[in-house]
Structures are given as structure tokens and as C-alpha cells.
Structure 1
């Protein structure tokens, strides 16, 4: 089919020249396959990694230590750029000093560096140890987490019943976190019927006061059965009164 003349050209009867299409270079956006290259095979054979973790980019597991806390059991991640360049990522330098991470460094010839993609270890350390069976270990290993993570983890587990209010008090005292003088009155005044958080900020002291002062009945975690936290009559009466005043 003869193309129409371009109205912008000077001679409308001149022969039309169809410009050649410009072709852009094709970029290979397919993910790099891992788990089938020499470094991965070597880690698998040395017992330092599994094919699943290497293929999915998950943290490598140190099977010589207990599964919990996950921060210590899964302390380092092997990631690759699009061009296949490998990197070892940890949450902070203290993780790079773990014997397992040192062995992975030696095996790969890479240096583990701190990276935000590995920062989940901070939360895992706090949430896995903020329990009646682990709070003392948590108090002695704060270098593997942050106070913010501990504050949130303690609040969570006081409410769900994995950490007693008494032990939570001892932990916060060991950490030097000052108790609010008003016993979290402002936060507790906002309590409401809401599954899970009850509209609270669920920080450590708020949760401790909510349980100690009879606002919340903590949950209970048992073998094969979980009992969730509930509001007490005191809390429900407070919610009803507040709603009546707002109506």
C-alpha cells in the first residue's frame, strides 16, 4: 500500500520514503538462576545452605543451632544482582561475627555487609525471645536487635500470653526503659473492641498496665490450642460509656 504524502513535506508528489524502524537493544530481564552454579553447589555440599534457600534468595540456615531465635539460625542472606554478582547481607556487623557467617564468608570468598534487606533479623530476635522462656536471654543479647523491636515484641507477647506482665516488668527494668508515671492512662482511655490490638499502641508498658490494671485478660498459647486475649468487663464498660457520651 502506497503511503499518504506527509503534509509537512514541501513537494506533495515526491516519492515517499518509509523510514526504517529503530530497534532498541533487548534487555534480558529474566531472573538469574541460582542453586545450579558452582558457588551454590559448594555451599550445599559443605552443609552451609539448601537448594531451596539459594534458589529463593532466603536467608541461609545454620543447622547447628536451634531454630529459635531465627536471627541466629538464619543470620546471613546470599543475594545476586541481575548480572549474577553475589553478595552476602547481614542485619548488622555483630551478625557478621557469628561463626556460621564466618564459615560462609570463607567458603564463598565474599565479605558479609550490613544491608536493609537483612534487617528482619532484628525483629526475629526480639519476637522469638520475648517470652517467659527467653526474656533473660533477650536482655543479655540486645546487640542482635533494637529497643524499638523489643518494645513492640514485649507488648505483643504480654497481650497474647507468651510473656507474663511480671517478667515483662523485669525485662524492661533490665533494659532501663522508664515506666510512664500515668500508667499509660492516655493510651488505655482509647481502648476499644477490636480483635488483636484493641486500638492500643501495644508497646511494652501499655500492655503491662492493661493486664495489671484489669483492662485485658491475656491470651494463652498451648499445644494445639490458642486462647486469644479478651477485654475485661472493666474495659467493655469503659467502651460503652465512651460511646454513649459520643452519641
Structure 2
């Protein structure tokens, strides 16, 4: 689709949330200022899903929220378990790691899974990691997403739609990691915006900036694109790609190009 989307159309998409529809299209008054985008019940229902069996090569979609300092860097891996349902296979959380280390983690994910599509936060400092990830793994599989207001809303709507329809499951999250994940998923708030289009906000604190939320939203965005599915070999059989200790090293770049 090309061209700008009419704000009224985007408002209708966002209004798949029942409260937003009631306010904008049924003239019901609701105080939405500061209301959580995802409800506690929606989150708990997704977390209560049974643990996944060992991975057997189904397609996965990856979302990566990039950060250099302060915020967290998060990689979310969603597996297509059938019937249009995605389930969280793993989530990696990093703080203060170099871009080289973050890209090495993405390399390992690409080797371990049958990755159909990756969506990475390209905003600001994410420009270079996106370009490097595309060089390593191909532009056909890696896309950068600019975190402007419209893209953030599209991703947040996709995430909310999946949770409400029970088409996004978060199984097997260890008890020690559940509180942080719940906090991040509840951190994004909605406020009324121009033309009935919700405005999404998340406060930045010492624990991050809703980074797990956005990694999951990026993975949902990756799953929404019509892309081919690529072949999968088990880790035991696969010839590993070389790791990059220095992503600017010319010798390693030549080694990768010959892989």
C-alpha cells in the first residue's frame, strides 16, 4: 500500500479496541487519558498458556528493540504454532551490551530457528545495526521499522488484536521474569489524539522504556507481512555462520561474504 493513510481509517483500525470504538463511533464518553493499552486480564490469559514442546522447525518471527545505553535491548522470538497463533519461544533481554554483542545474539537466533522475518527498531541509533543485520541475513528477511507515531500505533494494534483473540501466547515465562514482562506490557498508556487516533505513551524509568512490549510488537509486525518461509536444519547439522567480534573488521566482512 502506498501513500498516506487517512487518519480516520487509522482510527477505525485502532478502534478494534472496544472502548475506543465506543468513544469515537458511538459517542460514549470515556476517560481514556492514561488508560493502559493492554489489560491485565489479556496479559494473564496469554501467560497462562502451556509451555511449548522442543522446537521442531516451525517458522518463527523475530522482533528486536535496539538500545545503546539506559534502555534495554530485547529480542522476542514468536513461533507460528498453527491456526494463526504465535507463541513466545524465547525472549532475550540485554542491558549495556555493544552493538556487536547484540548482533551476535541475533546471529545465534538466525542459526537456531527457521526465521521467516525479522523486524528491528531502526530509529536513531538503530540505523547501523539494521544495515548490518540486512547485510548478514538479507534484506528479504530483515526490515527496519521507524518508531514514528503511525508505525507505533500499527504495531500496538497488531499486538492488542492478537492478545484479545488469543492468537498470541506467552508460555513458559519463568516466574522470576514474569513481573518485568507484565510491567512492560502494562507500561504503554493510551491518550486521546487528533481525529480519534489514540496516542501511545510509555514513561522511561530505570528498568527501561516498555522495551519488551515493543520487541513483541515488532515480532507481530514481522508476522503480518506476506513473506516466504525458509528452509531449516537442526543446529547439529547446520554449518554455522562466523561470529562477528568486531562488526567493522574487514577480514570478518570478507569471511562472511564468502560463507
Q: TM-score range by the shorter chain?
A: under 0.3
- What is the TM-score when the length of structure 2 is the normalising length? 0.22
Bigger RCO of structures 1 and 2 (CA < 8 A, at least 6 apart): 2
Bigger Rg over Cα: 1
